Amino acid sequence: MDDLKKRAKELLETSAVKVVIGYEQGTAGKTRALFAEKPEDADRLIFDSRCVQNLAVYVTKREAKDKGKMAITATLPVMRSIIQLASEFQVNDNNLLVLGITPGSELMEFGNLAEVETFVHQYQIEIDASYKEKLDKLDKMTPSERWNFWIDELTPCFKCYACRAACPMCYCIRCTVDFNQPQWIPVPSHELGNLEWHIMRAIHLTGRCIDCDACFNACPLGIPINLLTKRMIEDARANFGGYQPALQGEHLMSTYKPDDKENFIQ
Amino acid sequence: MNFDRHLIRKDSLEKLFDILKQNNKVIYAPVSKNTKVSFKEAGSFSEITTGYVQTAQSSKEVAFPRTEKLLDYTKNREGISVKGTDIKDFPDIVLWGVRPCDATGIGEMSAIFNWDYKDEIYNSRLSHVTVLGFSCSASDEYCFCTSVGGNPGNTEGSDILFTQLGKEGDYLAEILTEKGSAVVTLASGLFEKDGEIKKEIFLAEVPVMFNKEEIRKKLEKFFESGQWVEQSLKCLGCGACAYVCPTCACFDIQDEAHGKSGSRVRCWDSCGFSLFTLHTSGHNPRDVQSQRWRQRIMHKFSYMPDRLSVYGCTGCGRCSRACPADMNILEHLISIQEATV
Amino acid sequence: MADFEPKIVAFVCNWCTYAGADLTGTSRIKYASNVRIIRFPCTGRIDYMLLLKAFDEGADGIMISGCHPNDCHYTSGNFHARRRWIMFRSLCDFMGIDTRRIIFSWVSAAEGARWAEIVNSSVASIRELGPYDNYKNIAKKPVMETENHG
């Protein structure tokens, strides 16, 4: 992607940014993150349909932030993550420049995060049809069948936390599982430990997840944990009209409406 | 001791499996789930998956389970009663279908569990394991066993090593230990004369990419190198590499209490986690990812050979395959070897 | 199971439901004794992990109760709680956790008799459902040892 390389080079040559976070060729036909710090590094930047890793996970990392102002190549999911992070005060216009990549794979540079937000708001967060089918299938099961399904699916999980590490929204320096006074979520990867970890992960992402599938892609054991986060997105739509990352305003779970509807409180 | 070589027919493998099951062996074999292959207890031969290069996880769980009870305790009026794990209780396990790199990993991990303290529980579990290794007829760009002293037909660590003689072929069975002989005795009808087979022609090609002794020497002067930071920028700090590795042995100990009774449980841990070395004082000697990445490489290629006389890597490539950020350990090792200090 | 008496943990807010439960007592209303009450300043303080912990420790059912909407002592705590419960309950149901064993209510300080009714009906329904074996099986048997493989 030549415009991207050119622009990245310019930004580095003029020291407008100290590092450009993008994608480069990886192993075995995959792509991976590139931290271009010297102008010649920018020659390694690529972009194509394989580039699905959510790079926004790096903008909250000390190692990247400490370098100075960052630029990041951002597809729509990455842009959404960035706006969500900005709304949670984790990034701002001073430390991040967004080199957007439109759904048509064109470079679109943004002057500030407000412009990114305008772009992002043109698109709704929509669960892919194949996943809607999977969710439907689960909905049609009895609770008992669903329990068995999840206990079985989660059994391979060995709590490597790759899902947590790959998610841009999991930036807590000390995760809830890392507390042991008291130990809320059992550490060992037995059935209880796995179940409760995945429930809490989904719950802590409610209203914040932008459906990038980074968690599922990161899982070394192919466990479909993104079904949980997608379910939360669908529930948010069904109950509260859905949500969008937004620089101003309240988040789904940090606000309420006096007339929020439910049918289970006596 | 002179060990035997036999031929075993392709169709006899299932019979061997059944005989082992009939003799109350628990068989762990590669089973597919969600497109990934891992070692799981196999009830029947048909559950076993083939046609893959390497499993997602190693087979270390048979001796070092991901969660393991060490003891139970109960507090009562008289005091505290403790009941430790009964090490005589472990089942006999047959590990079916491990690659030579996994088999050598067992020895490397055992060095850690028998270093300054002999881990009875680990040793006892391992003593119940019979390793049926299968040579590799295929490899991929992640494999580098030949760079760390291994090879696709390596017999080290296996009790029997099977090599398939061509795609639909029968198997050469090299009987390497007493445990291996015991299996042959159980199923003697299935093992025939071997007829001077040369297994090398059926093995995968794995080019040598680096020299582990050179790396070890380089690492002695490499601690302060800026390369650690460069290499680890994309590392996300999860535990995937440590957990899938056949030689990684770090563990956490958790007490799971329910009122007056509870259990002490050992479970896997990873040096890649940011809080791995967090002290109660709040000080963290490895609070940046580059320090943790450096530790990982140095532990496997410098500290272990120095202290335990074995390297901590078998070149299986799982860490690189599992890594969500494509950290590719092989690449990093090559760049360490090529670096000028 | 004729002898089974469910263990139920109730997470209640101090200003409404706790006071209401107090009124039940001072009114000398007899009601089922299966419920262990945990007092919170507000339902808005209730964390999801606390609810799961109750099941971990062997509860057969849990009750969560607070002030009626618009009556929260801290103005909006119960509104936040309600929104959380909607999402949490849905996720629990999705994972196959038996949501019939999770009972939510609004009970005010004046509703002593009503608290007794809600407790009695909850205990009766959970007694019918029986012990919460699914959760108990994974909570009491914390270690799988070599059976726990992918």
Cβ within 8 Å, pair A148-C139 = no
CA A110/CA C76 separation, integer angstroms: 38
Q: Does B84 touch chain C (CB under 8 A)?
A: no
Q: Report how far apart, in Å, the C-alpha atoms of B295 and of each of A160, B98, B289 are.
A: 18, 28, 10
pLDDT classification of C149: cutoffs 50, 70, 90: very low
Q: Measure CB to CB from residue B62 to each of C58, C144, C146 and give the nearest one.
A: C146
pLDDT classification of C141: cutoffs 50, 70, 90: low
Q: In B, which residues are within 8 Å of C144 by CB distance?
A: 65, 67
Q: Are residues A71 and A142 in the same domain?
A: no
Cβ within 8 Å, pair A156-B254 = no
Cβ within 8 Å, pair C149-B69 = no
Cβ within 8 Å, pair A190-C98 = no
Q: Are residues A35 and A67 in the same domain?
A: yes
Compare all CA atoms of chain A with the CA of B289 and give the residue at the minimum distance. Answer: A63
Report whether pLDDT(C3) > 90. Answer: no
For chain A, the straight-line distance linking the first and the last C-alpha, in angstroms and rounded, comes to 59
**pLDDT recorded at residue B1:** 38
Please name every residue paired with A188 in a beta bridge, in sequence order, or none if there are none.
none
CA A78/CA A14 separation, integer angstroms: 25
* Mean pLDDT over the full length of chain A: 95
Compare all CA atoms of chain B with the CA of A164 and give the residue at the minimum distance. Answer: B238
**What are the structure tokens assigned to B222, written together?**
């490499």
Assess if residue A50 is contained within a domain: yes
Domain count, chain A: 2
Which of C58, C76, C60 shows the shortest CA–CA distance to C132?
C60
How many helices (H) does chain B have, and how many strands (E)? 11, 12
Report whether pLDDT(C28) > 70. Answer: yes
CA B65/CA A111 separation, integer angstroms: 52
How far off is chain A from B43, nearest CA to CA, in Å?
17
CA B227/CA B323 separation, integer angstroms: 19
Compare all CA atoms of chain A with the CA of C77 and give the residue at the minimum distance. Answer: A256
Which percentage of chain C shows pLDDT scores above 70? 91
Q: In A, which residues are within 8 Å of B328 by CB distance?
A: 26-27
Q: Measure CB to CB from residue C142 to each of B40, B65, B265 and give the nearest one.
A: B265
Task: Identify the domain containing residue A190 by its residue range.
Answer: 129-254
Compare all CA atoms of chain C with the CA of A138 and give the residue at the minimum distance. Answer: C94
Cβ within 8 Å, pair C96-A146 = yes
* Mean pLDDT over the full length of chain B: 93
Q: What residue type is A10 in one-letter code?
A: E
Q: ipTM, 2 decimals?
A: 0.93
Sheet holding A31-36, edge to edge: A31-36, A19-25, A70-74, A96-101, A107-109
Q: Are residues A115 and A138 in the same domain?
A: no
Q: Does C98 touch chain A (CB under 8 A)?
A: yes
Assess if residue A97 is contained within a domain: yes
Q: Are residues A95 and A151 in the same domain?
A: no
**What are the structure tokens assigned to A136, written together?**
């439907």
Q: In B, which residues are within 8 Å of A57 by CB distance?
A: 236
Assess if residue A260 is contained within a domain: no
Chain C contact partners (≥3 CB pairs within 8 A): A, B
Q: Are residues A142 and A228 in the same domain?
A: yes
pLDDT classification of B259: cutoffs 50, 70, 90: confident
Assess if residue C2 is contained within a domain: no
How far off is chain C from B63, nearest CA to CA, in Å?
8
Q: Report how far apart, in Å, the C-alpha atoms of A84 and of each of A70, A93, A248, A251 are.
A: 17, 13, 10, 9
Query: Within a 10 A sphere around the Cβ of B13, how many other Cβ atoms?
Result: 21
Q: Does B91 touch chain C (CB under 8 A)?
A: yes
Cβ within 8 Å, pair B38-C150 = yes
Cβ within 8 Å, pair C148-B265 = no
Which of A27, A31, A67, A167 to mutate to test binding with chain B, by most B CBs within 10 Å of its CB?
A27
For A167, half-sphere exposure in the C-beta direction (CA atoms, 13 angstrom radius) is: 25
Compare all CA atoms of chain B with the CA of C53 and give the residue at the minimum distance. Answer: B258
CA C49/CA A185 separation, integer angstroms: 8
Q: Are residues A28 and A111 in the same domain?
A: yes
Q: How many CB pairs under 8 A join A and B?
A: 122
Assess if residue C91 is contained within a domain: yes
Q: Are residues A109 and A133 in the same domain?
A: no
pTM: 0.94
Q: Report how far apart, in Å, the C-alpha atoms of A157 and of each of A236, B273, C80 are.
A: 27, 17, 32
Assess if residue A243 is contained within a domain: yes
pLDDT classification of C140: cutoffs 50, 70, 90: low
Per residue in B43-77, pLDDT tens? Answer: 999 999 998 999 999 999 999 999 999 999 999 89
Q: Measure CB to CB from residue A264 to each of C95, C104, C118 and give the nearest one.
A: C104
Q: Measure CB to CB from residue C84 to each of A156, A200, A253 and give the nearest one.
A: A253
Q: Are residues A166 and A207 in the same domain?
A: yes
pLDDT classification of C2: cutoffs 50, 70, 90: low
pLDDT classification of C146: cutoffs 50, 70, 90: very low
Q: Are residues A149 and A107 in the same domain?
A: no
Compare all CA atoms of chain C with the CA of A254 and give the residue at the minimum distance. Answer: C80
Chain B, residues 167-226, CB within 8 A of chain A, namely none
Q: Does B64 touch chain C (CB under 8 A)?
A: no
Task: Identify the domain containing residue C53 by its residue range.
Answer: 8-147
Compare all CA atoms of chain C with the CA of B64 and give the residue at the minimum distance. Answer: C146
For chain C, the straight-line distance linking the first and the last C-alpha, in angstroms and rounded, comes to 36
Q: Are residues A195 and A249 in the same domain?
A: yes
Assess if residue C3 is contained within a domain: no
B285: phi then psi, degrees, rounded to nearest 5: -65, -20
Per residue in C72-119, pLDDT tens? Answer: 999 999 999 999 999 999 999 999 999 999 999 999 999 999 999 999
Q: Where among A77, A98, A120 does a domain terminate?
A: A120
CATH number of the structural domain spanning residue C21: 3.40.50
Report whether pLDDT(B31) > 60. Answer: yes
- What average pLDDT score do residues B25-32 get? 94
Assess if residue A207 is contained within a domain: yes
Q: What does the pLDDT profile of chain A (266 residues) look like in tens digits? A: 899 999 999 999 999 999 999 999 999 999 999 999 999 999 999 999 999 999 999 999 999 999 999 999 999 999 999 999 999 999 999 999 999 999 999 999 999 999 999 999 999 999 999 999 999 999 999 999 999 999 999 999 999 999 999 999 999 999 999 998 888 999 999 999 999 999 999 999 999 999 999 999 999 999 999 999 999 999 999 999 999 999 998 899 999 999 899 999 99
Q: In A, which residues are within 8 Å of C118 by CB distance?
A: 266
Q: Measure CB to CB from residue B41 to each of C140, C143, C149 and give the nearest one.
A: C149
Q: Is-contact B256 B266, C-beta < 8 A?
A: no
Compare all CA atoms of chain C with the CA of A140 and give the residue at the minimum distance. Answer: C94
Q: Does B149 touch chain A (CB under 8 A)?
A: no
Domain count, chain C: 1
Assess if residue A30 is contained within a domain: yes
Q: In B, which residues are within 8 Å of A159 by CB distance?
A: 239, 267-268
Q: Where among A91, A120, A149 does a domain terminate?
A: A120
Q: Are residues A145 and A97 in the same domain?
A: no
Q: Are residues A57 and A163 in the same domain?
A: no
Cβ within 8 Å, pair B61-C147 = no
pLDDT classification of C150: cutoffs 50, 70, 90: very low
Report whether pLDDT(B229) > 60. Answer: yes
Compare all CA atoms of chain B with the CA of A31 and give the residue at the minimum distance. Answer: B326
Q: Where among A120, A153, A168 does a domain terminate?
A: A120
Cβ within 8 Å, pair C149-B258 = no
Assess if residue A248 is contained within a domain: yes
